[in-house]
């Protein structure tokens, strides 16, 4: 895992998206601050952060929809925006929600959008529109006027537009916005199937659960800065480990933990309904913060507690969750479900 804005990630030859020092300022306000993204080819890359953290502004700069104040962007090995004519036909995108003609049907909208492309083939347009609608589960609503679509249906129609032609890279900004659980699951499965076919998928989201279930890699934005990125498995493993102790001998237990170099504290109130239970007091201590090198093993902690006469009525070792890790990085909350 690479943390902070300086982490450049893997070698450039393996990157579908690569930025260096990418920044965007609006007057005296810095919306995106020196972001170094490294998105590997073939990844499902989650671009994660609370609302307002700079995700959409970054995406707009990647696609050439907004000019960067500083820094460089490469997509599919080409410099942006200088080579966007060569790059954009290979990129499908859904940014800031889809916009369609409301009194045309879903299929008619896709026909018009496809016809506007310089590289599309008219002879295969009808088949491609039908296939795109089928892939997002809208084949039965193809003839329905878009003004009668729900928000979730419009989201799926926007993804269908991005899939009208084969793509090497798909950029999706909040693709599950407005979708019910079934629609969310369909989009998740669609993204996975595209990745299996070799498409790199870049997914912006503030929904931690979606990124956790869908992605192979992730980057975390906070207040315009990139605070972490890397394979999702490494991000999960980067959190701290703590012990949770239940004992009626709270004072003696804290003395033992302090002698071992640990910093005991009451259990967080959101995790316990009070720190007292019928079995005694609940105490937590981070195992990775001991002043001893190395930190004591959990079984050593239990042995010292028992030796000191502390009655141990509950003992567990807990790894910081992905949610805990990302909140620690950003200092802000994430939505974990829709």
CATH classification number, 241-319, choose in 3.30.450.30, 3.30.70.100, 3.40.50.300, 3.30.70.370: 3.30.70.100
Measure CA 207 to chain center.
7
Per-residue pLDDT of the chain (338 residues; tens, 9 = 90+): 444 433 333 334 589 999 999 999 999 999 999 999 999 999 999 998 888 889 999 999 999 889 999 999 999 999 998 888 888 889 988 887 668 999 999 999 999 998 887 778 889 999 999 999 998 889 999 999 999 998 888 888 998 998 898 889 999 988 887 778 887 888 888 888 888 888 999 999 888 888 888 899 999 998 899 998 999 888 877 667 889 999 999 999 999 999 988 888 776 654 444 455 667 899 988 876 444 456 788 899 999 999 999 999 999 988 766 777 777 776 665 554 44
Could you state, in order of their start, the residue ranges of all structural domains in the chain?
Answer: 2-237, 241-319
Q: Answer yes or no: pTM beyond 0.75.
A: no
Could you give the angle at which helices 250-259 and 298-307 cross, rounded to 10 degrees? 130
Give 228's strand partners.
3, 220
Q: Which two tokens stand for residue 14?
A: 């393996």
Residue range 2-237 forms a domain whose CATH class is alpha beta
Separation CA 267–CA 146 (nearest Å): 52
Peptide bond into 294 cis (omega under 30): yes
């Amino acid at each position: 895992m690479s943390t902070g804005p300086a982490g450049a990630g893997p070698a450039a030859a393996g990157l579908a998206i690569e930025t260096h020092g990418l920044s965007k300022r609006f007057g005296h306000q810095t919306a995106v601050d020196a972001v170094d993204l490294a998105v590997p080819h073939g990844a499902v890359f989650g671009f994660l952060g609370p609302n307002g953290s700079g995700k959409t502004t970054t995406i707009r700069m990647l696609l050439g929809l907004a000019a960067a104040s500083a820094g460089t962007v490469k997509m599919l090995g080409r410099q942006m925006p200088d080579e966007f004519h060569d790059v954009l036909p290979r990129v499908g995108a859904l940014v800031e929600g889809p916009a369609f003609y409301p009194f045309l049907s879903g299929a008619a909208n896709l026909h018009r959008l496809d016809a506007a492309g310089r590289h599309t083939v008219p002879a295969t347009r009808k088949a491609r529109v039908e296939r795109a609608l089928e892939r997002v589960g809208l084949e039965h609503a193809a003839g329905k006027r878009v003004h009668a679509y729900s928000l979730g249906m419009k989201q799926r129609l926007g993804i269908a537009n991005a899939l009208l032609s084969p793509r090497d890279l798909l950029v999706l900004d909040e693709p599950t916005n407005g979708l019910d659980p079934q629609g969310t699951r369909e989009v998740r499965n669609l993204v996975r199937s595209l990745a299996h076919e070799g498409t790199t998928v870049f997914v912006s989201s503030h929904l931690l659960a979606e990124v956790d279930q869908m992605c192979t890699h992730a980057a975390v934005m906070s207040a315009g800065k990139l605070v972490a990125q890397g394979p999702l498995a490494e991000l999960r493993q980067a959190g701290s480990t703590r012990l949770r102790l239940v004992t009626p001998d709270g004072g003696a237990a804290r003395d033992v933990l302090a002698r071992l170099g640990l910093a005991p504290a009451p259990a967080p109130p959101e995790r316990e309904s009070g720190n007292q239970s019928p079995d005694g007091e609940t105490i937590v201590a981070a195992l990775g913060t001991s002043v001893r090198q190395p930190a004591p093993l959990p079984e050593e902690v239990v042995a010292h507690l028992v030796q000191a006469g502390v009655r141990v009525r509950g003992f567990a070792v807990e790894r910081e969750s992905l949610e805990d890790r990302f909140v620690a990085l950003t200092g802000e909350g994430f939505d974990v479900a829709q």
